[in-house]
Chain A
Amino acid sequence: MKKYSLYSLIKNSFSYHENWQRAWRDPIPKKEYEIIIIGGGGHGLATAYYLAKKHNIRNIAVLEKGWIGGGNTGRNTTIIRSNYLWDASAGLYDHALKIWEGLSQELNYNVMFSQRGVMNLAHNLQDVRDLKRRTHANRLNGIDAVYLNTEEVKKFCPIINTSPDIRYPVLGGTLQRRAGTARHDAVAWGYARSADEMGVDIIQNCEVKGIKRNGGSVEGLETTKGFIKTKKIGVVAAGHSSVIANMAGLRLPLESKPLQALVSEPVKPIIDTVVMSNAVHAYVSQSDKGELVIGAGTDDYVSYTQKGSHQIVEGTLSAILELYPIFSRMRMLRQWGGIVDICPDASPILSKTSIKGLYFNCGWGTGGFKATPGSGDLFAHTIANDEPHKLNAAFNLNRFISGDLVDEHGAAAVAH
């Protein structure tokens, strides 16, 4: 693989950028792999990358039914932060944030990680108490967090309407300066390119249709490109996790629901951070192209249609307008939905199952993009050693039996 550098950029400009090497191969599936990852989103590709890099397993395939990154990875609003309340979550998400900080260099691929800070607003007394409590909890876990009063919020992001007579006045907020955003596609592409270089077969347009079992262990997969043998399967299929679990006769504690986002027409730089508001469910940042990136909420019914209801978008936009009157004449350019896999405790599952050789990485719901590098690293560890890493031990499937839930619903800053 040719290294990307200033030199390669200049060199390729002489041939009008028509001779760049393909970033990854387009292989025909082999008869058998040591490990197969189902799902070519960021988490699946990162899992394959860390399996190859840290565990030295090279005979791996990633099977993707569409194109890589075409699922939630390419549909999310890219907010990255680690200011979660509980110790287990703080450990998990901050592990990921630390990897983000060096990821572009490690992959030799610019994932455009931008630590522009994430601010979470409080709109009522309970919000204020919860956010202060979370700030303290974060600091005890070594995660940077500050609490801001209304004037400090206004100073950090001057376009916010902090007038006391709006419907939900801004009473304060928290700020994590190390938090920010990244370019979603680049994350999938960067992991794919490096995994491919180490020998991982990335097979697109290959849908898994069935799981073949021999008693209590897995034997292989039925796919649209034929049967492929393997003894270890890592399922990283986000909204479709339950569908794949069903192929193995399992049920998961998940519900798949549409989550929407939208972007505006591009404008000059106006907001240089990410601002989220849990109470009114509105969050906004600005992409490098200049579009406002706005996240809406989930619908309350199960659906696999990748489109949500209109009133959800309407609700979010009315909250945005109340908080940012300056956006009142903006026009929205595109709107879309993704199917998110929601766990009862709003925490993910990175776990072995009752079937030998079958592992699940799911339940990230509305907020897993931020965890992509950490999730891949820890899931690779879990598959390679048939044991969880200490950072993902709490996120096993057994917690729904023991009752040891990691309840981040409401406890975390916002769903994302």
Chain B
Amino acid sequence: MFIINCPYCGERDQQEFKAGGEAHIERPKQPTELSDDEWAEYLFMRKNIKGVQFERWNHAHGCRKWFNVARDTSNDEIKVVYKMGEKPPLE
């Protein structure tokens, strides 16, 4: 349980949000060209990092907007919140 700073609404309890999983997984540009291996990588394989991970969250019970979060999964500490389309912070 932790607090998330929604870039649109400010600090709210985590239970207002829906976790959207690993961020920056790009949808294949040419799906018909993809091999089965590449499909598996895109659909199923995840980094599932213990440490700082970039992930998507949705303020489901608030403004309903999507945004990105860099969170340390070993202690649930949020490092940075940044908007959809922005590049992940380098560190």
Binding site for B on A (CB under 8 A): 240, 242-243, 246, 251-256, 299-305, 308-311, 344, 400-403
Contacts and interface: CB of A to CB of B under 8 A. Distances in A.
Contacts of A402: 36
A311 to B, nearest CB: 5
A253 B45 contact: yes
A400 B37 CA distance: 9
Task: Provide the main secondary structure of the chain B interface.
Answer: mixed
Q: What bracket does the count of chain B residues touching chain A fall in?
A: 20 to 34
B15 A251 contact: no
B45 A251 contact: yes
B44 A400 contact: yes
Contacts of B46: 242, 251-255
Given A252-B46, A254-B46, A400 B74 contact: no
Residue with the highest number of chain B CB atoms closer than 10 Å, among A240, A243, A246, A401: A401
B48 interface: yes
A251 B47 contact: yes
A309 B15 contact: yes
A409 to B, nearest CB: 14
A240 B51 CA distance: 12
Nearest to A257: B19
Contacts of A243: 48, 50
B36 A401 contact: yes
A400 B21 CA distance: 18
A304 B74 contact: yes
B1 interface: yes
B48 A256 contact: yes
Nearest to A258: B76
Residue with the highest number of chain A CB atoms closer than 10 Å, among B15, B39, B49, B50: B50
A310 to B, nearest CB: 5
Contacts of B73: 256, 302-305
A309 to B, nearest CB: 4
